[in-house]
Structure 1
Amino acid sequence: MSQFADRLIAWQGEHGRHDLPWQVADAYRVWLSEIMLQQTQVTTVIDYYQRFLQRFPDIASLAVAPLDDVLALWSGLGYYTRARNLHKAAQVVMNDFGGAFPRAPTDIETLPGIGRSTAAAITAFSFDTRAAILDGNVKRVLARWAGIDGFPGQKAIENRLWALADSLLPASGSDMPAYTQAQMDLGATVCTPKKPACLACPISTDCVARLTGRQAELPTPKPKKAVPERSTVMLLIRNDAGRLLLQKRPPTGIWGGLWCLPETADTLGAERFCTDTLRLAVDLDPALPDFVHVFTHFRLTITPLPAIVVGATALADDGALRWFDRSEALAAGIPTPLRRLLNA
């Protein structure tokens, strides 16, 4: 076990990733990358990360920005709670920490949207702090190497993995950036979920999964459950100028704070919904073909229903409804299904 960190650090120096744009000792940039990389692959994140930094180069600029601007730059990256929490956390740093990103993992964990592993990664990369990470890649590496059975999402198994991760840290804080990056790189490029490249792995000589032929079994997969199915009708309402009606969703929940199409439960009640709720008289066109959008916990079948406004187009003045032309809508914070419709 004492050689575990040394092997990973040596491997990272020769085979790890060294050209990622967030590999700098800057807490703001590291934090931004860690949040974007949650549930999202590196290749997808890079362009978003660079555009985000161009608009918000530091914590202060992010903290004072309108949330709509933040969500617009996040549009298409998904898991929008991350963007809302990022914005809130920037404001907390400015108000409670004097604009300086906190150094202690326990302080970092108090910021919205940051858990133990993310806090450890930020402080290890930015301040050379000896703090263990335990993201999905690291759980897989450690479960295989130590032969730990059980779904890592179960608290007892997670606690075992945390204890192991803490015990394997290098002695010197100066080694923490390379060691932390090595764990991430190993899980992403070698110890992959399927067909791991064990011959290229620096810890394969004493890996329990490799020695017992259990690479495909470990880590123990999550027990399967039936994926719930939901459906909705999204109204593509245009006025006589061809502008599209969008409705801002509440700040929490699915697509919180984003501009979306008005929704109703079914096509039969769509016209009445427009009249009673939106205060618009419309002529409905035939529905467009259904399509499916998959969330983490359910599948949503979407029926796009075009409609043209008849008569007055005045909207309520609460700011939740607004007419957009196509280019304005694509530049706003909108969810992926709406972007797909506008691009079709």
Structure 2
Amino acid sequence: MKYQYKKEFRHHLVEWFNNEKRDLPWRHTSDPYKIWVSEVMLQQTRVDTVIPYYNRFLEKYPTIQDLAYAPQEELLKMWEGLGYYSRARNLQAGVKEVVERYNSIVPDNRHDISKLKGVGPYTAGAILSIAYQKAEHAVDGNVMRVLSRVLHIEEDIALPKTRKVFEEAVEMLIDEQYPGDFNQALMDLGSMICTPTSPKCLLCPVRDYCTAFNEGNADQLPIKSKKVKTKKVKFNVFVAVDQEGRYLVEKRPSTGLLADMWQFPMIEINENGISDETFQQNYNVEILEYEDKELLRFKHIFSHLTWEMECMQVQVLQKMELPDDVVFLTIEQIKTLPMPVPMLKILNVLN
């Protein structure tokens, strides 16, 4: 884009946003805490999914102090079903830093806000531009897609170093009078018009300034190298019931995938395919009866991993003291615990 067209590009983009922007709950506030919550929830998650979670979350934690000192198990329960649970833990840690180090006021500069737990370059820029009207870049996948087409940038967006190219591009183009609207307009344009496949170029408010549109190759950008194939792991999930009708559940480790969430016991199926003995040894129980060997079978896909789950319901007898963080609970008690989506699927079958 030629330098003299920057003003027109900004004007048409922001005008389109103000006319066409979606009515979203976080667009009715300039509170940096509430905008922070929305940006964290929106990472890797669809807008329609986030809206009810956002409303419930802020009803439970209306102020930054409320979230800072909330019990973690309660927080994870509020986040249940959103996935990527480290986001919730990092959000709480960052919020607590703000309360204790910044007198409950979210920093209004990139240097300080970027030091907070879980706040990367995009989240920092989004909060600063939307809440504080600072002319700061907020580059996500939508923004990279739009600008790769508008400016005909052919660097591989899968490479971390490429983000700097787009951050500099936003700094060149950003509307300093309305930086929050400008950044949100780029995001909305990417999600609504300038989509990954079949972009709706004839509806685009800035197509006159788009190099890829003028050259007829918008569908060939951005350049993105393919991801490595996700790893597949097979598990037997033991839905184990004792003689009192209680179910065996365990708390996952406090670090790593789905940290501190609760689950039914999972045993990885090795090349021998024998998991029953491992289950009995690991949990100090004896299987008395197989009630349903094919209770449920499904796949759960993470960004880097696929779980292939084969669930069976078994009657068990506790032989020795249960291991740490392993308990027998009723269905009603289990419902109060934070559980990841694959476990909720199983729980729903039991209801």
Fold match (TM-score > 0.5): yes
Partner Cα distance (1:221, 1:311) in 2: 53
After TM superposition, the structure 1 stretch with the greater mean CA deviation from structure 2, 283-292 or 302-311, is 283-292
| Residue of structure 1 equivalent to 2:315 | 308
Aligned-pair distance for 1:48?
Answer: 0.7
Contact 1:191 1:197 in 2 (8 A): yes
Contact 1:30 1:122 in 2 (8 A): yes
Correspondence 1:227-266 to 2 at 5 A = 227-266=230-269
Contact 1:287 1:306 in 2 (8 A): yes
Q: 1:205 aligned to 204, 208, 227, which one?
A: 208
Query: Residue type of the partner of 2:180?
Result: P
| Residue of structure 2 equivalent to 1:327 | 332
| Residue of structure 2 equivalent to 1:56 | 61
1:21 pairs with 2:25:
yes
Please list the CA deviations of residues 116-170 of structure 1 after superposition, one character each: whole Å capped at 9, or x if unmatched. Answer: 1110101111111110110111111101111111321214432221111111111
Higher-strand-fraction structure: 2
Please list the CA deviations of residues 242-288 of structure 1 after superposition, one character each: whole Å capped at 9, or x if unmatched. Answer: 22211111122111110012221239644433443222222251532
| Residue of structure 2 equivalent to 1:82 | 87
Partner Cα distance (1:284, 1:82) in 2: 40
1:292 pairs with 2:299:
yes
Query: Residue type of the partner of 1:21?
Result: P
Partner Cα distance (1:73, 1:16) in 2: 28
Helix, strand or coil: the match of 2:288?
A: strand
Q: 2:186 aligned to 175, 183, 186, which one?
A: 183
1:109 pairs with 2:114:
yes
Partner Cα distance (1:264, 1:342) in 2: 18
Aligned-pair distance for 1:90?
Answer: 1.8
Sequence identity of aligned pairs in percent?
32
TM-score, L = length of structure 1? 0.93
In the comparison of the two structures, how many residue pairs are matched?
339
After TM superposition, the structure 1 stretch with the greater mean CA deviation from structure 2, 150-159 or 187-196, is 150-159
Contact 1:281 1:309 in 2 (8 A): yes
Aligned-pair distance for 1:315?
Answer: 3.2
Aligned-pair distance for 1:330?
Answer: 3.2
TM-score, L = length of structure 2? 0.91
RMSD: 1.9
Partner Cα distance (2:136, 2:185) in 1: 14
Aligned-pair distance for 1:221?
Answer: 2.7
Helix, strand or coil: the match of 1:216?
A: helix
Unaligned runs of 5+ in 2: 1-5
| Residue of structure 2 equivalent to 1:135 | 140
Unaligned runs of 5+ in 1: none
Partner Cα distance (1:213, 1:20) in 2: 33
Please list the CA deviations of residues 64-101 of structure 1 after superposition, one character each: whole Å capped at 9, or x if unmatched. Answer: 11111111111111111111111211221122222222
